[in-house]
A and B are shown apart, each in its own frame.
Chain A
Amino acid sequence: MFGKGLVKGLVITWKEFWTPKVTIQYPEEQPPVPERFHGRLSIEVDKCIACGMCVNACPNKVIELKKQKVGKKQFLTDYVQNVQYCLFCGLCVEACPKDALHFTAIFNMNQYFYDNLPVVLVQREAPAEPVEKEEPAAKAGSGDKVKPKPKAKVDKSVPAAASEVAAGKAPDKEGQ
């Protein structure tokens, strides 16, 4: 029959018109993200023992970790995720012995300037004396909010003491 194809096509169009739309009006609407989603990292500073296992597990030297010895314990001072080299493989999260490192659902980590790309998760100064009960690190960005302008460079005000161990130094972008 002449025009049969046209009718068939219109039937499909008509059906499709009434089906629920799949388009999401991003960024007003956020897409649904599964629980295991590999987004930005987040670290629970209270749990972290600054062992550097995540740094060793990373295939691309993404994580920059700095710690200082306070009393007998290691104190995490800086934790930076160089997101531009991150493969989001999850080996760091798996390596964490204290379950302090997690993935968040945040996938929007774009920055206008290249220098702002690294996500600073922790940047704080070590206390002079060991405290009995750790204060709930106020400066730690362990929440789910992205910092407006995270800085790549670590705080220079922290004195480069001999005890400071630059375990997470990422000297080479190629990871060689």
Chain B
Amino acid sequence: MLKTQEYNLNLGPQHPSTHGVFRILLTLDGERVVKAEPIPGYLHRGVEKLAEARTYTQFIPYTDRLDYLAAMLQNWGYVMAVEKLMGIEVPERAEYMRVICGELSRLASHLIAIGTYSMDTGGVTGFELALRERETTMDLLEELTGSRMTLSYARIGGVAADAPEGWLDKVDKFMDKMPAYIDEYDGLIAGNEIFQARTMQVGVIKPETAISYSLSGPNLRGSGVNYDLRKAKPYSVYDRIDFDVPLGTNGDCYDRFYCRLQEMRQIVRILKQAVAQIKEVDGPVIGKVPKVLKPPKGEAYEEIESSKGIIGYYVVSDGSAKPYRIHVRRGSFINLGYLDELLRGVLLADVIAILGSLDIILGEVDC
């Protein structure tokens, strides 16, 4: 039998399929992975440390940069933690605006996730299709917040501004069209035999493993674990909105992908309801917040369901205007924890498929 020698292969950084600046040091035996060592840190900016030199409000734009594909969800998690610390009440209309903007952000993030995953597995058309709808989503977000990606929309006690005139109807109209587009992705990407062959029964994560490694988001639900913070610990106005949590059965790459696709259908449902309900709610979009925020001494942890998983903010206050310490529980980073074991024994081509299915974002991984 032919003897092979183990060798190292650096996958990434800067490789498009590593979804940013991420490197995996693969030890290969032929085409089989023997060991995989994920090496993050190329995008590390010390965001948690930067927070200590800024006021509570000034940190909001930095949270955008963690998950720049779904910035609102990061904003939201952070402001919720500070609001809990200070005991600030958020007006109802602001909660709805957060849900609408947050779900649009989640849609934008999932569109990139399924688009890039299609490209990772060899289909460029899927990527272009996803970008088409993402463009509309970002146009809507731009009209609302003034920025396309780093929205900085949430404020401690509410949101930055109310929806412009006619904007809610635009969202509603877009949501009317969205199911047809999702069907298109379903047919073109998920229905593609090559795609199915490359993703089904590849990178299987068992439910118990997913739980023990603290995976979250679609990666956890792809394994069939029904845990969505919007249902398990309803925050904001999610308890008034009717939606389902899509689950996978096998826990393979296809299930994780398909979970995101199905989640997009739920986003449409959520947005349709939220837009209908907000029209009956009037009032300010920001609550009564002191000009200089000085939370009492103490700590607070608040977590929300982001597009990549659970994003949690742990804020410690020493009573001054600047946070004493902030720690961010990043879904993407924790989802990578199982990568080494997941990649052992798979083929090199599957490494890309598995990494893509985890939908990491390096801004969040490196923090």
Q: Interface of A with B (CB < 8 Å)?
A: 34-38, 57-59, 87-91, 94, 103, 175-176
Q: How many residues of B contact A (CB 8 A)?
A: 22
Contact of B306 with A by CB under 8 A: no
Q: A59-B59, A59-B62, A89-B61 are in contact. Are A36 and B144 (CB under 8 A)?
A: yes
Question: What 0/1 pattern do residues 120 to 155 of B give for CB contact below 8 A with A?
Answer: 000000000000000000000011111100101000
Complexed CA–CA distance, A35 and B143 (Å):
7
Chain B min CB distance to A38 (Å): 4
| Contact (Cβ within 8 A) A176 B53 | yes
Q: Which 3 A-B pairs have the closest CB atoms?
A: A59-B58, A89-B61, A36-B146
Q: How far is the CB of A171 from chain B (nearest CB, A)?
A: 13
- B160 part of interface (Cβ distance < 8 Å): yes
Take A36-B143, A59-B61, A175-B50 as given contacts and tell me if A90 and B150 are in contact as well, using a CB distance cutoff of 8 Å.
no
Can you name the residue of chain A whose Cβ is closest to the Cβ of B151?
A89
| B58 to A, closest residue via Cβ | A59
Chain A positions within 8 Å of B61 at CB level: 59, 87, 89, 91
Q: Are B145's CB and A91's CB within 8 A? A: no
CA distance A71 to B229 in the complex (A): 59
Measured between beta carbons, the chain B residues less than 8 angstroms from A36 are 142-146, 161, 164
A36 to B50, CA, bound (A): 28
B143 touches A34 (CB 8 A): yes
Min C-beta distance of B322 to chain A, whole Å: 11
Contact (A94, B59) CB under 8 Å given A34-B143, A37-B142, A175-B53: no
CA distance A90 to B147 in the complex (A): 10
Of the residues B62, B144, B152, contact of A90 by C-beta under 8 Å: B152
Contact assessment for A87 and B57 in the assembled complex, using a CB-CB cutoff below 8 Å: no
B173 at the interface (CB under 8 A from A): no
Q: How far is the CA of A91 from the CA of B58 in the complex (A)?
A: 8
**Given contacts A90-B160, A175-B50, are A103 and B62 in contact (CB under 8 A)?**
no
The 8 Å CB contact of A34, one of B59, B146, B150, is B146
Q: How far in angstroms is the closest Cβ of chain A from B87?
A: 23
B60 and A89 form a contact (CB under 8 A): yes
Contact present for A91 and B57 (CB under 8 Å): yes
Cβ 8 A contact of A59, one of B54, B142, B144, B150: B54
A94 to B147: give the CA distance in the assembly, Å: 15
Q: In the complex, what residues of A have CB within 8 A of residue B150's CB?
A: 87-89
Q: Which one of B59, B64, B146, B160 lies within 8 Å of A37 (CB-CB)?
A: B146
Interface centre among A36, A58, A94, A175 (most CB of B within 10 A): A36
Q: How far, in whole Å, are A38 and B144 apart by their CA atoms in the complex? A: 11
Inside 8 A of B64's CB, which chain A residues have their CB? 87, 89
Assuming A87-B61, A175-B50, is B160 touching A94 (CB within 8 A)? yes
Question: Quick one: which of B55, B60, B146, B150 has the most chain A CB within 10 A?
Answer: B146
Residue of B nearest to A32 (CB): B139
B160 contact set on A, CB distance < 8 A: 90, 94
Chain A residues, CB < 8 A from B164? 34-36
B145: A residues at CB distance < 8 A: 36
Residues from chain B with Cβ under 8 Å of A88 in the complex: 146-147, 150
Residue contact B142 to A89, C-beta cutoff 8 Å: no
Identify the closest chain B residue to A53 (Cβ): B291
Q: Is the CB of B58 within 8 A of A90?
A: no
In the bound complex, CA of A30 to CA of B57 (Å): 34
Tell me whether A57 and B58 are in contact (CB under 8 A): yes
Question: 13 A-B Cβ contacts within 8 A?
Answer: A35-B164, A36-B144, A58-B58, A59-B59, A87-B150, A87-B152, A88-B147, A88-B150, A90-B160, A91-B58, A91-B152, A94-B160, A176-B53
Minimum CB–CB distance for B64 against chain A, Å: 8
A35 to B161, CA, bound (A): 13
On chain A, the residues within 8 Å of B50 by CB distance are: 175
Q: Is the CB of A103 within 8 A of B146?
A: yes
Task: List 4 additional A-B contacts (Cβ < 8 Å) besides A57-B58, A88-B150.
Answer: A58-B58, A59-B54, A59-B55, A176-B53
Is the pair A175, B146 in contact by a Cβ cutoff of 8 Å? no
Which of B54-79 touch A at CB < 8 Å? Answer: 54-55, 57-62, 64
| Residues of chain A contacted by B143 (CB below 8 angstroms) | 34-36
The docked-state distance in angstroms from the alpha carbon of A29 to that of B50 is 40
Please indicate the chain B residues that have their CB under 8 angstroms from the CB of A34 in the complex.
Answer: 142-143, 146, 164
Q: How far is the CA of A97 from the CA of B62 in the complex (A)?
A: 24
